[in-house]
Each structure stands twice: as C-alpha cells, then as structure tokens.
Amino acid sequence: MKYSTRGPRAPAGEPLGEAGSAAKPLVFSLMHAAHTVEARLEAALEAVGLSIAKHGVLQLLADAGEPLTLSELAEQSSCVRSNITQLVDRLEAEGLVQRVDDHDDRRIIRARLTRAGVDRHAAGAKAFAAVQAEVASAISSSDRAVLDRLVSRLG
C-alpha cells in the first residue's frame, strides 16, 4: 500500500525534549523516501506508457533474452502466479508480449516479447535509468553506505 507520507500528527506519548530534532519516527522517513522515488519512477514510466509492474515483466524478459514461463516470471518478481497471469493478460492485450505454448509440456505457457515489447522496454529502461541517475546524484556515496547498512539490518 501507499503508506501515508505524514506521520502521526501528535504522537500519543510524545517524549518532549527532542524538540529541534524533528522526532518523526524513522519508519515514516524511510517510507516517505521510498514512496517519493516510486512516484518518480511511475511518472517517468507513465510517459512511455508503462507502469512499474509492466516494466518489471518486460525487464525480466529482456534480461532473459528468451521467453520465460509465467511461473518463472512470478518467482523472479516475488509475486504469486495469478498476479503474473493478469499482468501478462494486459501486456498481451497491448501487444507487448505474446503467450507461447510449450509443445513438450502442455501445462507450460511462456511469455515472449514482441517487437513492440522490445521497443517499449527500451523506452522504459531509459526512463527508469534517468530516474535512477537523478536519485543517485542526490546522494553521496557515504549516504549510500548508510542506506545499504540499513537495508542489511532490516532485511
């Protein structure tokens, strides 16, 4: 979910004395930062007709360089299979991917990038990279180190 960016307005048992240090809980700072970045990614991708989710699937297929089964896509996206079913439905409706059957195992269905899908992915990757660079430039490498430590402690 898109957690509200504003923390509790008047935290119940707010410990006074930290007046100047803006005691907004870490949790909110973190989520606010992440949502800001996500919003930028969404805006950049929207300009080329993609969502983050769609770009994610196209990226996986482009990286693989060959069609992937829907289960593989689900696993690599860390989501459930039914999610991919629907995402691929929409991508297919837009003509960006195509379902292809496996002739050996008829349970298996792969998603294949179409010509349009390859093009769209290229545009998406460009937009995505631009945001990434923009964000990276706002952050010093020492800040980055802190963030990495944070991630590893939280993960």
Nearer to DNA, 89 or 119 (CB): 89
Q: Could you say which residues in the range 57-96 bind DNA, by CB under 7 A? A: 69-72, 74, 78-90
Report in angstroms the alpha-carbon separations of 132 from 22, 30, 103, 137, 149.
Answer: 28, 17, 40, 9, 19
How many CA atoms, within 13 angstroms, populate the side-chain half-sphere of residue 102?
12
103 binds a second copy (CB under 8 A): no
Query: Whole-number minimum distance, CB 104 to DNA, in Å?
Result: 7
The one of DNA, a second copy, none whose footprint includes residue 117, by CB under 5 to 8 A per kind, is: none
Residue 121 as a binder of DNA (CB under 7 A): the answer is: no
Binding to a second copy in span 11-30, by CB under 8 A: 12, 22, 25-27, 29-30
Footprint of a second copy on this chain (CB under 8 A)? 1-6, 8-10, 12, 22, 25-27, 29-38, 41-42, 51-53, 56, 59, 63, 76-79, 125, 131-132, 135-136, 138-139, 142-144, 146-151, 153-155
